[in-house]
Amino acid sequence: MTAVDSLSFSVEPGQVTGFLGPNGAGKTTTLRMALGLITPDRGTTTIGGTPYAALTDPTRHVGAVLETAFHPGRTGRDHLRVYCRAAGLPGARADEVLAQVGLTPAGKRKAGNYSLGMRQRLGLATALLGDPQVLVLDEPANGLDPEGIQWLRGFLRHLAHDQGRTVLISSHLLAEVEQTADRVVIVGAGKLVREGTLDELRDESAGTVLVRTPAADQLAAALAGPDVVVETTAPGALTITGLTTDEVGHRAFTAGVELHELRARTSGLEEVYFRLTSGAEQYAAAPGSAS
Amino acid sequence: MNLVRSEWTKLLTTKVGFWLLLVGCLMAGGFTALFTALAGAQNGLPPVGSAAFSQTIAGVPAQVTVITLVLGVIGMTQEYRHRTATPTFLASPHRGRVVVAKLLAYAVAGLVVAVAVVAVTAAVAGVYGGARGAAPDWSGDALGVLARSGLALVVYAVIGVGIGALVRNQVGAVVGALVYLFVVEPIIGSIPATSSAYEYLPGGALAAMTAADRGTELLGAWQGGLLLLGYGLVAAVLGTVLAVRRDVV
């Protein structure tokens, strides 16, 4: 089974990049390939030009939160000390990152007794041990309460915007990254669907016009153009992308087409995301490379 | 070296190592007390004060090799059981180095267990044997047997890591190792057609390593020890190539 096929994108420093796609789109597989945990059949992933496995002291370059993984009988602080040792970092880093994620009071408790939110924080603390320039987080908001999500958003933005780090967070929910991410990379069925800033995506959501007409075919022909997409959403109903209501009304008038309804629809980002990932053909960009 | 220290931290921050050490010492102390209590021709055991008694006691640590075997198996397989393989391999993408670090770390851990088990054995035999007439005499062959029995505990920790690397599933590895040791190997040894192979199997090698007066059907002590170590290292290498390098999902 091919989980990820010819997916190519890049992530830049100083920004939070959202890595979006429905469950099963290949997000986790992609991240694990980037981190050398899964070997891809073809292709490479590099961090600042170097494959993860070739990095000296990888945890000082890249921090990753992939899943909640710790021995339940070990305290949170001891868990961090284990990975301090492995990376040759001073043990004091364990206490520093515990404080950074607000877990100091629970540091001496067994990780097996942690709540889901505390586990996510411990995972984040593990990723921060080496003070890495690049942070990769797989579904970090899972299990966080609203307050925790608020905190995480602020924390990640601070790491990217104020400290110039590269932050990549995956999620299956656009709403989750909407307030955090500057850019998004959207995947569906293992392929790149869209890559761009959230503003670009918002522009896209603004340009839809809904029309009801008894002469749908005639109007569709009149509207056809290079940047225009006309979809028949129901008998006698068209959704037009790439034209304003003024332009549609003018062309309908010129073509002598009777209109029963003409309105602009500003669909939310969520809807654009849904359309992108539900396999609407015209949006399925070729798996191109972007650097 | 950082990875080896990381493994020790892992071992010292959970309780399994402590419990295995405790159980190992209790088993060794118990066996020693039993051999001492029943020493005497009427029970089919060498009497206290004889050279044979000293050698029997000296072989006791080799009876608890299952402890260091399980210690090594858990040391490796817990990474998969608790999914800590992910952060471990993120910290060291060279997975072979992780396995080597575990082999070294658990050889040392096995040595700690060995020293404790040998000390308990010698202490119990010294005190209880003394009370029954004579403490074991460590001046002759018995000292060598005792040392090699302890060394067997170290080698079994290495074998445990190797099995763990090969099998990855904690329950499967522990149960498989126990079934092999207590079911498969005794059967192979008991069938005349296959018993000649026994000397080259881990059990035969362990017997060769710790037997006081071996028959012709066993290897020499050092050959047995090296063969055992070889089994552990081969399992570790095969495990690294076949299992540990597999994708961690």
Predicted pLDDT at A56: 87
Number of domains in chain A: 2
Is there a single domain that holds both residue A216 and residue A141? no
Radius of gyration, CA atoms only, chain B: 19
Predicted pLDDT at A283: 40
3-state SS string for chain A: CCCCCCCCCCCCCCCEEEEECCCCCCHHHHHHHHCCCCCCCCCCCCECCECHHHCCCHHHCEEEECCCCCCCCCEHHHHHHHHHHHHCCCCHHHHHHHHHCCCHHHCCCEHHHCCHHHHHHHHHHHHHCCCCCEEEEECCCCCCCHHHHHHHHHHHHHHHHHCCCEEEEEECCHHHHHCCCCEEEEEECCEEEEEEEHHHHHHHHHCEEEEECCCHHHHHHHHCCCCCEEEEEECCEEEEECCCHHHHHHHHHHHCCCCCEEEEECCCHHHHHHHHHCCCHHHCCCCCCCC
Predicted pLDDT at A291: 35
- What residues in chain B have their Cβ under 8 A from chain A's Cβ atoms? 2-3, 5-6, 9-10, 13-16, 78, 82-94, 247-249
Average pLDDT, chain A: 86
Query: Is the pLDDT at A7 greater than 90, yes or no?
Result: no
From chain B, the residues in CB contact with A38 under 8 A are 247-249
**Which of A281-285, B87-91, B133-137 has the weakest average pLDDT?**
A281-285
Range of the domain at A224: 208-265
Query: Is the pLDDT at B138 greater than 60, yes or no?
Result: yes
Q: Note whether A273 and A187 are within 8 A (CB).
A: no
Residue A101 is encoded by which pair of tokens? 């994620």
Domain stop point among A197, A227, A246: A197
Task: Give the distance from residue A31's alpha carbon to the nearest chain B alpha carbon, in angstroms.
Answer: 10
Give the 3-state secondary structure of residue B84. Answer: coil
Predicted pLDDT at A207: 67
Predicted pLDDT at B85: 93
Percentage of chain A surpassing pLDDT 70? Answer: 92
What A154-159 contacts at long range (C-beta under 8 Å, 24+ apart), as own/partner pairs, is: A155/A101, A156/A16, A156/A180, A157/A16, A159/A135
Is there a single domain that holds both residue A183 and residue A247? no
- Distance from C-alpha of A251 to C-alpha of A196, rounded to nearest angstrom: 31
Give the one of B13, B78, B247 whose C-beta lies nearest to A78's C-beta: B13
Q: Chain B residue with minimal CA distance to A41?
A: B247
In a domain, A7, yes or no: no
Query: Is the pLDDT at A287 greater than 70, yes or no?
Result: no
> Beta strand pairing status for A237-241 and A208-212?
antiparallel
Q: CB B6 to CB A86 under 8 A?
A: yes
Give the 3-state secondary structure of residue B191. Answer: coil
Label residue A235 by pLDDT band (50, 70, 90). confident
Label residue B214 by pLDDT band (50, 70, 90). low
DSSP B113: H
> Beta strand pairing status for A183-188 and A191-197?
antiparallel
Domain stop point among A171, A197, A223: A197
Please give the average per-residue pLDDT across A102-108, as a whole number. 93
Residue B38 is encoded by which pair of tokens? 């029943």
ipTM higher than threshold 0.85: yes
Please give the average per-residue pLDDT across A144-165, as a whole number. 92
Q: Label residues A229-252 b or e (16+ Cβ within 10 Å = b).
A: bbeeeeeeebbbbbbeeeebeebb
- Distance from C-alpha of B111 to C-alpha of B154, rounded to nearest angstrom: 5
Please give the average per-residue pLDDT across B222-226, as a whole number. 89
Q: Note whether A91 and A155 are within 8 A (CB).
A: no
Is there a single domain that holds both residue A193 and residue A259? no
Give the one of B10, B84, B90 whose C-beta lies nearest to A35's C-beta: B90
Interface A:B, Cβ pairs < 8 A: 82
Is there a single domain that holds both residue A163 and residue A241? no
Is there a single domain that holds both residue A130 and residue A227? no
Is there a single domain that holds both residue A190 and residue A64? yes
In a domain, A256, yes or no: yes
Q: Chain A residue with minimal CA distance to B88?
A: A83
Predicted pLDDT at A290: 37
Is there a single domain that holds both residue A88 and residue A221? no
Give the one of A55, A69, A73 whose C-beta lies nearest to B86's C-beta: A69
In a domain, A6, yes or no: no
Query: Is the pLDDT at B208 greater than 60, yes or no?
Result: yes
From chain B, the residues in CB contact with A32 under 8 A are 247-249
Percentage of chain B surpassing pLDDT 70? Answer: 98
Is there a single domain that holds both residue A171 and residue A132? yes
CATH code of the domain containing A40: 3.40.50.300
Task: Give the distance from residue A183's alpha carbon to the nearest chain B alpha carbon, in angstroms.
Answer: 26
- Distance from C-alpha of B124 to C-alpha of B67, rounded to nearest angstrom: 19
- Distance from C-alpha of B151 to C-alpha of B144, rounded to nearest angstrom: 10
DSSP B41: G
In a domain, A276, yes or no: no
Domain boundaries, chain B: 2-244
DSSP B184: I
Is there a single domain that holds both residue A68 and residue A171? yes
Q: Which of B163, B125, B160, B162 is CA-nearest to residue B30?
A: B125
Label residue B1 by pLDDT band (50, 70, 90). confident
Run of H or E residues at B38:
none
Predicted pLDDT at A1: 57
Label residue B213 by pLDDT band (50, 70, 90). low
In a domain, A290, yes or no: no
Q: CB B9 to CB A82 under 8 A?
A: yes
Query: Is the pLDDT at A286 greater than 80, yes or no?
Result: no
Is there a single domain that holds both residue A246 and residue A168? no
Query: Is the pLDDT at A206 greater than 80, yes or no?
Result: no
Average pLDDT, chain B: 90
Domain stop point among A197, A227, A248: A197
In a domain, A23, yes or no: yes
Predicted pLDDT at A282: 38
Give the 3-state secondary structure of residue B1. Answer: coil
> Beta strand pairing status for A16-20 and A183-188?
parallel
Is there a single domain that holds both residue A95 and residue A238? no
Is there a single domain that holds both residue A135 and residue A100? yes
**Highest mean pLDDT: which range of B5-14, B49-58, B133-142:** B5-14
